[in-house]
Amino acid sequence: MSISLLLEMAASSDPDRTAVVSGDMRLTTGELSSLADGGAGVIAASGAQHVAYVGTGGVMLPLLLFSSARACVAVTPLNYRLSPDGLRELIDRLPTPLVIADAEYQDVVAGAGKQVISSDEFIESARTAEPSAEFPDPDDVAIVLFTSGTTSRPKAVELTHNNLTSYVTGTVEFGSASPDDAALICVPPYHIAGVGAALSNLYAGRKMVYLTKFHPSEWVRLVADEGITTATVVPTMLDRIVAALEATPAELPTLRNLAYGGSKVALPLVRKALQLMPGVGFVNAYGLTETSSTIAVLTPDDHRDALAASDDAVARRLGSVGQPVPGIEVQIRADDGTVLGPGETGELFVRGDQVSGRYAEIGSVLDAEGWFPTKDVAMLDESGYLFIGGRSDDTIIRGGENIAPAEIEDVLVEHPDVRACVVVGPEDPEWGQIIVAVVMPSQGASPDPDELREHVRKSLRGSRTPDRVVFRDELPATATGKVLRRELVDEFSRAREEQERSAAHARSRKD
């Protein structure tokens, strides 16, 4: 089915309900639906085969998702933080796009040689345009999202109408939200969680309140002012909210659920958040762009049970991503493809209608039985709880031994002097790769590298002890909290080459 139908159902069952609040703009489901019809007319009249959006989101995201669907073209929200060159490179990969940009990004896309209109112009024209409401084929691509490309060239993930509606109808009951429910959305529009939020909250009948430029105190203010009941944040946002609440305690009486995801959240932060917001149910959501958002959920009850557990196996689940959502099958496979049992670590494969696994220019990477290789290292426990141990590409091979950086990071981050850390494996002539721990110390702390190495050695095998510990004031990361490991590895490799060069230089001078 088409994503248009989600809006059609919402608008026909309750046209006067407030659907979107974004800055000064408030739209009912009925208004959103007529504006999307007009928007489809604007897109159809442009002759474009694709819609690209450069901006911070808010009402523009649901509006463009549904306008594009009703015009039967795919839409791509782009990362507005990219450089002008980076943006143009991605726009050039889209077929005859109409580029719609917020005012502040007009200059950036002006030189792209494409049809460009501003977000304000688009809304203005949509109000008066000849409406259009075509029905796309359910197997047509609805949304193309670029992966963040932290390790390689960004890949263009194609999500069909069926992928997205399978996710929404399979995980959300239509109209299940209470009339006073409100979701606070601060994940960026180019992220799959942003797309998921726009579709699933509309379908649940939950008012969507947008915070397009995240700031922790603004987030706390909006929770109070708009009576927010559910919210989703990426790890860096959770970290800043926790810091803000520690500095200035605030009541969040309406907030029932706070979901976190996007990348791994360190356990000390989860525990601190639980402690600071005792009345809030925490949700850990795990998913990939290629899986149309969430595929596993650690529920509020799971969090409470894990915290209260005396049984180690249950307590450990605080660090898991929970159980697969309905419609998703999971398998853990060894390198040779053998399916592994509970407790064994391998690569996570997933299958289900919401899984796309298809890229523009590359095609489908699903295997013959429809399984998608996530490239995530994972393990299932006896009760089917899923544990994610980082990207398989990040695995360090030191002296022939495979080492998952996540295993070391999980131990290191529990040290009181460590605020955040990342473990990388730059190349080394002797070991192949060595283990370097990059540590951002806690405020006021100046940890001793040997003490941190000892801390790891106490919990893990000796071969997992970092060869080096280096300190940084912050870790390079994307806006959604993915650490840019590649940057660190490159930096260390360059430093080593530099060292070798000067050593060779010194030798040649001695000769």
Under the rule (CB under 8 A), what is the footprint of other proteins?
Answer: 1-2, 5, 8-9, 12-13, 137-138, 162, 169, 171-176, 183, 187, 193, 196-197, 200-201, 203-204, 206, 230, 232, 257, 259, 261, 281, 283, 285, 293-294, 297, 299-300, 325-326
Least CB distance to other proteins at residue 197 (A): 5
**Three-state SS at 424:** strand
Looking at the Cβ atoms of 174 and 359, the one nearer to other proteins is 174
Least CB distance to other proteins at residue 283 (A): 5
How many angstroms separate the CA atoms of 130 and 122, rounded? Answer: 13
Least CB distance to other proteins at residue 188 (A): 12
Least CB distance to other proteins at residue 297 (A): 5
Token pair in block for residue 277: 């917001």
> Residue 363: beta bridge partners?
359
Looking at the Cβ atoms of 174 and 431, the one nearer to other proteins is 174
Least CB distance to other proteins at residue 186 (A): 12
Specify the pairing of strand 293-298 against strand 281-288: antiparallel
Looking at the Cβ atoms of 136 and 426, the one nearer to other proteins is 136
Angle 117-123-129 (CA atoms, 0-180°, nearest 5)? 95
DSSP string over 193-220: HHHHHHHHHHHHT-EEEE-SS--HHHHH
Least CB distance to other proteins at residue 196 (A): 4
**Three-state SS at 428:** strand
Least CB distance to other proteins at residue 299 (A): 5
Selection from 54, 39, 44 nearest residue 111 by Cα: 54
Selection from 147, 105, 82 nearest residue 357 by Cα: 147
Give the C-alpha distances (Å, rounded to integers) separating 224 from 17, 161, 236, 255: 20, 35, 21, 9
Looking at the Cβ atoms of 151 and 299, the one nearer to other proteins is 299
Looking at the Cβ atoms of 280 and 436, the one nearer to other proteins is 280
How many angstroms separate the CA atoms of 310 and 268, rounded? Answer: 18
Looking at the Cβ atoms of 84 and 300, the one nearer to other proteins is 300
Selection from 82, 126, 132 nearest residue 100 by Cα: 126
Looking at the Cβ atoms of 12 and 493, the one nearer to other proteins is 12
Looking at the Cβ atoms of 91 and 208, the one nearer to other proteins is 208
How many angstroms separate the CA atoms of 385 and 367, rounded? Answer: 24
Residue 121 CB neighbour total at 10 angstroms: 14
How many angstroms separate the CA atoms of 425 and 396, rounded? Answer: 5
Least CB distance to other proteins at residue 290 (A): 15
Residues near 190 by beta carbon (within 8 Å), at least 6 away in sequence: 77, 78, 79, 80, 145, 146
Looking at the Cβ atoms of 87 and 172, the one nearer to other proteins is 172
Looking at the Cβ atoms of 185 and 424, the one nearer to other proteins is 185
Least CB distance to other proteins at residue 334 (A): 30
Least CB distance to other proteins at residue 66 (A): 15
Selection from 278, 324, 328, 330 nearest residue 298 by Cα: 324
Least CB distance to other proteins at residue 138 (A): 4
Q: Cβ distance 119 to 55 under 8 Å?
A: yes
Order the strands of the 329-333 sheet from edge to edge. Answer: 329-333, 346-351, 372-380, 386-391
Looking at the Cβ atoms of 167 and 492, the one nearer to other proteins is 167
Least CB distance to other proteins at residue 9 (A): 5
Looking at the Cβ atoms of 173 and 218, the one nearer to other proteins is 173
**Three-state SS at 183:** strand
DSSP string over 291-340: GTEEEEEE-HHHHHHHHH-SSHHHHGGGGS--EEPTT-EEEEE-TTSPBP
Which residue bears the tokens 């994610």? 388
Token pair in block for residue 14: 């309750």
